[in-house]
Amino acid sequence: MFTIKWLAVAAATYADLKAKAEASLKSRTGKGTKKSTKDEGLFKQVYKAIELLRSNPKHPGLQTHEYSAIENPYDRKQKVFEAYAQNQTPGAYRVFWCYGPAKREITIIAITPHP
């Protein structure tokens, strides 16, 4: 298991996704609707991706690969990776991360829709 660290921008995005999902769930249950909303589904997928990263960053479902357009916040010589939270969806969300700063730690750099 890895410990998850967050850069401020990633933590803010995660908190925003979570707040939207919770508001949507509250509204939906108040109306008696059973089907989950897009906000709820998106947060569930991002949450699952983070949990998979925590347990196994090389999990095949994440389709993790190196991403060179973002610089590692700790060491320019170290790699940054992209993991899929969604796939085959317009604007599919990705989680950008790196190892560190300490052993058995992963830092979430950004959570963004794919351009």
d(CA 65, CA 114): 14
d(CA 63, CA 67): 12
Per-residue pLDDT of 31-52, as tens digits, reads 888 888 899 999 999 999 999 9
Sorted by where each starts, the structural domains of the chain and their CATH numbers stand as 3-113 (3.30.2310.20)
Q: What's the pLDDT at 89?
A: 86
**pTM of structure:** 0.92
Q: What's the pLDDT at 34?
A: 83
